[in-house]
Amino acid sequence: GLGVINIPVYFHVVYSNAEENVSDAQITAQMSVLNEDFRKANNDINKVPAEFSGIAADSEITFTNAGTFRHSNSTGEWGTRDAVKSAYPPITPSTHLNIWVCNIGGGILGYAQFPGGSSSTDGVVLLYSSLPGGSAAPYNEGRTATHEVGHYLNLRHIWGDGRCRQDDFVADTPSSDGPNYGCPSFPTVNCKSTDMTMNYMDYTNDDCMYMFSEGQKSRMRAIFASGGARESL
Ligand code: ARG
Ligand code: ZN
Ligand code: CA
């Protein structure tokens, strides 16, 4: 197999005030969350219920910080139409994950581009206050990055963005009829099966999501194989 895959990351911190100019320590903490979550080394993995513990996956994907670039800019809110990427283009996106940290606005925590899109907009955008220790509680433990990097690596939302029959193209994630929010009690049953509400690709609070599944691991890792959309990483 491919073994452990390491992805080098460039951070672009774009700020209009001191709070948006997140510290190096916060970026280091964010990197730790990504590495823990993608290697099943998160300290809340033991919360996975027995029904799903057998398919909680070590994705064998790691991340290293290849550089942090800081840009002061008077723009207050960047939106979700890639304006921040036009202002500060991705650096070698064929070999690096680019992450922009900025004030998105509109209550948006983050957004990502799936594999196969334009290289000029490839990467992930994070709300500055979603990083660990930020002010976006209950979304301030760094799991917005985990969720968005999941999209960047080809994962869909756990409910398939539709009703029960809509698929996320992952066999071991039970179907659901929509997102779960907050911190759902277990079991939460929809579409005649127990929702995997604790999956990183649902919409629950940061401290209520703590696993990827084996099927998601396979779907992510397929894009690194020969001919896959992120083979060049
Ligand atoms: N709503 C965003 C998306 O669909 C991010 C959700 C992040 N959730 C969280 N608990 N941090 O991409
Ligand atoms: Zn999402
Ligand atoms: Ca599924």
CB 199, CB 211: distance < 8 Å? yes
So what's the pLDDT on residue 30? Answer: 98
Residue 69 parent element (H or E) = strand 61-72
- Please name the residue whose Cα sits nearest to atom 1 of ligand 1: 109
Ligand 3 centroid to residue 148 C-alpha, Å? 18
What number does the ligand 1 atom closest to the CA of 209 have?
10
Mean pLDDT, residues 98-114 taken together: 98
User: Which CA distances in Å does 103 have to 22, 60, 130, 148?
Assistant: 11, 31, 10, 16
ipTM exceeding 0.90? Answer: yes
So what's the pLDDT on residue 2? Answer: 86
Q: Who contacts 168 (Cβ-Cβ below 8 Å, separation ≥6)?
A: 155, 156, 157, 158, 159, 160, 201
The one-character DSSP state at 163 is: S
So what's the pLDDT on residue 1? Answer: 72
Please check the confidence at residue 87 and state whether its pLDDT lies above 80.
yes
Please check the confidence at residue 124 and state whether its pLDDT lies above 80.
yes
CB atoms inside a 10 Å sphere around CB 156: 20
Ligand 3 centroid to residue 68 C-alpha, Å? 36
**What is d(CA 190, CA 209) in angstroms, rounded to the nearest whole number?**
18
Q: Which among 19, 20, 141, 148 is annotated as catalytic?
A: 148
Please check the confidence at residue 209 and state whether its pLDDT lies above 80.
yes
pLDDT in tens, 21-36: 999 999 999 999 999 9
**What is d(CA 144, CA 120) in angstroms, rounded to the nearest whole number?**
22
Mean pLDDT, residues 194-213 taken together: 98
165 Rama class: left (phi>0) / alpha (psi -120 to 50) / beta: alpha
Ligand 2 centroid to residue 104 C-alpha, Å? 15
pLDDT in tens, 131-152: 999 999 999 999 999 999 999 9
Q: Is 132 in the pocket of ligand 1 (CB under 6 A)?
A: no
At residue 196's C-alpha, the angle toward residues 190 and 202, to 5°, is 95
Mean pLDDT, residues 56-68 taken together: 98
What is the overall mean pLDDT for the chain?
A: 98
Please check the confidence at residue 78 and state whether its pLDDT lies above 80.
yes
Token code pair at residue 95 = 């070999």
CB 30, CB 86: distance < 8 Å? no
Token code pair at residue 90 = 């991705």
Q: pLDDT band at 100, cuts 50/70/90?
A: very high
Q: Is 143 in the pocket of ligand 1 (CB under 6 A)?
A: yes
Mean pLDDT, residues 186-209 taken together: 98
Please state whether the predicted TM-score (pTM) of the whole model is above 0.90.
yes
Please check the confidence at residue 177 and state whether its pLDDT lies above 80.
yes
Catalytic residue status for 214: no
Ligand 2 centroid to residue 230 C-alpha, Å? 19
Give the chain's largest Cα–Cα span: 51
Q: Who contacts 233 (Cβ-Cβ below 8 Å, separation ≥6)?
A: 5, 7, 94, 95, 96, 97, 224
Strands (E), the chain: 5-15, 61-72, 97-102, 110-112, 124-127, 189-190, 193-194
**What is d(CA 123, CA 112) in angstroms, rounded to the nearest whole number?**
6
Residues with CB under 5 A from ligand 3 (ion): 168, 170, 173
What number does the ligand 1 atom closest to the CA of 147 have?
7
Q: Who contacts 204 (Cβ-Cβ below 8 Å, separation ≥6)?
A: 180, 181, 182, 183, 184, 197, 198
- Please name the residue whose Cα sits nearest to atom 4 of ligand 1: 111
**What is d(CA 114, CA 89) in angstroms, rounded to the nearest whole number?**
17
Give the ligand with the smallest distance to the CA of 146.
1
